[in-house]
Amino acid sequence: MSDRQDERRPETALHARREGPTSGKKVWFITGAGRGMGVDIAKAALAAGNAVVATGRNIDVVSKAVGQAEDLLVVKLDVTSRPDAEAAVRAAVERFGRIDVLVNNAANFYAGYFEELTPEQIERQLATGLIGPMNVTRAVLPVMRQQRSGHILSISSGAGLMGFEFNSAYCAAKFGLEGWMEALQPEVAPLGINTTIVNPGFFRTELLTQESTTYAEPSIADYAEGHAARRAWYEAQNRQQSGDPAKLAQALLLIASQEPPPRRFIAGADAIAVAEQKVKDLQEQINAYRDLSTSLARDEVKGAEDRR
Ligand SMILES: NC(=O)c1ccc[n+]([C@@H]2O[C@H](COP(=O)([O-])OP(=O)(O)OC[C@H]3O[C@@H](n4cnc5c(N)ncnc54)[C@H](OP(=O)(O)O)[C@@H]3O)[C@@H](O)[C@H]2O)c1
């Protein structure tokens, strides 16, 4: 079958090329594949014999970062743009006929105290970290629903599990991402679509460089000391993170190959420590006010419970 025919009959073309999940070869669609862990995920997926749609705001940067490969399609996608998302998904389906794994990876980091972050900075954080993944997923879901298969992996963070000082905007985006993903899971599971939230700890990418991190302007004396200390700490972490994004990419390949894939993957010993602390905190918070909490039912409900 010629490439031209592939373009006209993508779904038939795909079955003819046996690129569906049954053959083990999948079509990965990755956001933010020009820098950071998106590059490693794209390279790992290609090296494992998959087809990859590597997307980013600048396709030259993505092409240079990911390199050349027969089963690679590079497409422009700013995740804050719904038209970009729709066009990128169309291009992916025209080329490969399907999308098996969506990786919502692209994000940035607006760091600072809530009151020092401007409302516009918070909106930009939510636009890339929360609304962006929603835009791309909204464009991909009709394809996955038609296939009655697919896997949506969204990269959250330890900051999607626990609130951290100086991270109020980033945590808001990542907590939002988690709530949305957890609610999406039962909506799409009956349609054969799986979801996985990934919580990485610190990985050595470009997230803490000035290309990806924007610090709030120090403007409130009450926060001056904390702001200076937190900013110095984050700047010192840049290029010192212990996590290896190439290993994370390999782990995600394994996660995506599971039948069914896990709903959550906590990536890194530091991320596990955060998750365990969160579980402990929640249990303590439950226990501290269990009696008060369980005394809140209406009297007739409580009476019925007591009579049982
Ligand atoms: N590295 C860590 O320690 C860590 C920890 C926890 C979670 N994470 C999460 O991991 C994911 C990947 O981050 P990373 O560490 O690889 O960071 P990174 O090295 O800074 O890469 C971020 C990527 O996102 C892209 N991006 C930013 N805004 C975009 C937009 N509007 N549209 C499309 N692409 C956009 C960037 O592309 P441009 O070149 O166009 O800016 C870049 O390719 C993020 O979701 C991040 O929150 C990272």
pLDDT(93) > 90:
yes
**pTM summary value:** 0.93
SS3 of 74, please? strand
Distance 213 CA to ligand 1 centre (A): 10
What is the per-residue DSSP string for 186-254?
A: HHHGGGTEEEEEEEE--BSSSTTSTTTEEEPPP--GGGHHHHHHHHHHHHHHTTT--B-HHHHHHHHHH
pLDDT(103) > 50:
yes
Written as six digits, the tokens of 241 are: 């993170």
Residue ranges of domains in the chain, CATH in brackets: 3-267 (3.40.50.720)
pLDDT digits (tens, 9 = 90+) for 209-266: 999 999 999 999 999 999 999 999 999 999 999 999 999 999 999 999 999 999 999 9
CA dist., res. 180 & res. 20, Å (int): 27
> CA angle, 167 as apex, 161 and 168 as ends, to 5°?
85
Of 139, 51, 41, 52, nearest to 90 by C-alpha is 139
Whole-number percent of the chain with pLDDT over 90: 89
For residue 29, how far is the Cα from the chain centroid? 12
What is the per-residue DSSP string for 119-145?
A: HHHHHHHHIIIIIHHHHHHHHHHHHHH
pLDDT(9) > 50:
no
Backbone phi, psi, residue 200, to 5°: -75, 150
Taking residues 176-204, what's their average pLDDT? 98
Written as six digits, the tokens of 187 are: 């909506």
Q: pLDDT tier at 306 (50, 70, 90 boundaries)?
A: confident
Catalytic residue, chosen from 110, 149, 174, 223, is: 174
Distance 3 CA to ligand 1 centre (A): 33
Q: In the annotation, is 174 catalytic?
A: yes
Q: In the annotation, is 257 catalytic?
A: no
Number of residues assigned to the chain: 308
